[in-house]
Amino acid sequence: MSKDVRKIKTERDIQQALLTLLNSKTFRQVTVADICQLSMTSRSTFYAHYLDKYDLLDKIVDGFTQLFENRVGLRFKQIINGETDNLLRGLAVDMADNRDALLTLFTVHEPNADLEANFRTLLLREWKRFIKESGGKMKVPEDLMASMGMNVQMTVIQWALSHGDGEIDDVAAAVDTIRKAILLQIQPED
Amino acid sequence: MSKDVRKIKTERDIQQALLTLLNSKTFRQVTVADICQLSMTSRSTFYAHYLDKYDLLDKIVDGFTQLFENRVGLRFKQIINGETDNLLRGLAVDMADNRDALLTLFTVHEPNADLEANFRTLLLREWKRFIKESGGKMKVPEDLMASMGMNVQMTVIQWALSHGDGEIDDVAAAVDTIRKAILLQIQPED
DNA sequence: CGAAAAGTGTCCGTAATCCAACAATAGCAA
DNA sequence: TTGCTATTGTTGGATTACGGACACTTTTCG
């Protein structure tokens, strides 16, 4: 385990350096030397922590993916009586802390490191599970419903990240109203 | 000299930690343990760089004092024909980079570490020199003039630091107009 | 094409930092 | 006062990071 503080600090610095560099360069344009220079770590130290820059990116993406996975799990568990009001807004708020990093990583799409794809996969899985557990038969395929939920969710998250926190509530409320209306249409009457 | 990157990094982290802590605590309330915890350095390392927290504060203040001294020197040398228009605004702009740190340090007044006092001393010295070299006989004591210049200067700097960069020009222009008017009154006619 | 430049990944000796322990002092409450 | 707790500095061995070298691959450019 990473016990020594020095490891934590260097990994934090290295990861932050890559994120910063990604604001002005493509991931493929970034060199290990760039990362080391900006983070003020020696190359030998870099390779003591990561196999290469791809490994570094993987671990960063994995970290945020895990964080998101935890939050998604919590938020879905907090749903009461099928009321998903807080879900939409909640997840967007959860991610607000790492606004800069997430916005940057959403622009990176590498084979084994695609944060946006990971988010979509996680959301889709949870939506499918939620719909199935909700039990009610629907007039449209459950997968279609899950996909819709996932897409609406991602839209709100990305919108909230790009814009400030000011109008999140309004947007979430608006989108949620639309979604509810659709749900009412396709769900069978009680 | 600080050649090794590790020294630079730890000193940067330690100094930044103290500045951050000063936002929520008095300098005397800050403990070495606090600084080490926030900066993620061990106490033994702290004492390898500084005698105690007072020594740390001294060195931070000294750093900004030197930086200011250089800028003051440059700005005074750039004065042409006694036109001090750029001086006022220029120094305020120079210090804008370290806005947070300076605003914090201006609230600290320890016996051997008082940044605001240092700034005032430096400005006063330069104003005296400038007035003396300007040569013209005045109707009021030169020290009074220097003191006035120094105070006006500090006012603009602190105002610019507290408020944004947006209105600096307006304020500097207004203050400079007033100062010029006074100068015309007290200077003998050519 | 071919040479120069830049980047990669690895190695090792040295320097800096960590960690845990320690005694000593200061502050504070009973 | 007396104890108790927090803080201060200090020390030594273990761990980590640094710096620079090396061979190798990739890119760049004439």
CATH code of the domain in which A27 resides: 1.10.10
User: CATH number for the domain including A133?
Assistant: 1.10.357
What are the helix (H) ranges across B50-167?
53-77, 85-95, 99-105, 115-134, 142-162
Residue pair A106/A116 in contact by the 8 Å Cβ criterion? yes
One domain, residues B86 and B143: yes
Residue pair A127/A145 in contact by the 8 Å Cβ criterion? yes
One domain, residues A6 and A86: no
One domain, residues B166 and B121: yes
Is B9 near chain A, with CB under 8 Å?
Answer: yes
Residue recorded with tokens 């945020």: A64
* Boundary residue ending a domain (B50, B65, B91): B50
One domain, residues A100 and A75: yes
Digit-coded pLDDT (tens) for B11-40: 999 999 999 999 999 999 999 999 999 999
**Total domains in the fold of chain A:** 2
- Distance CA(A49)–CA(A29), nearest Å, equals 21
Give the range of the structural domain holding residue A94, as residue numbers without chain letter: 54-186
One domain, residues A81 and A170: yes
B10 closest-nt by C1' vs CA: C17
B12: nearest CA partner in chain A: A40
* Boundary residue ending a domain (B12, B30, B50): B50
One-letter amino acid identity for A115?
Answer: L
pLDDT per position in chain A (190 positions), as tens? 668 999 999 999 999 999 999 999 999 999 999 999 999 999 999 999 999 999 999 999 999 999 999 999 999 999 877 777 788 888 988 999 999 999 999 999 999 999 999 999 999 999 999 988 887 677 788 898 889 889 988 998 999 999 977 787 788 788 878 777 776 766 655 4
One domain, residues B46 and B58: no
B-interface mutation test, from A8, A40, A44, most B Cβ less than 10 A away: A40
One domain, residues B72 and B90: yes
One domain, residues A165 and A180: yes
Q: Which residues pair with A121 in a beta bridge?
A: none
- The helix (H) or strand (E) run that includes residue B75 is helix B53-77
Q: Where are the beta strands (DSSP E) in B85-169?
A: none
One domain, residues A44 and A62: no
- Distance CA(A131)–CA(A187), nearest Å, equals 11
User: How is residue B43 written in tokens?
Assistant: 């106490």
One domain, residues A169 and A154: yes
One domain, residues A28 and A68: no
Is B109 near chain A, with CB under 8 Å?
Answer: no
One domain, residues A118 and A77: yes
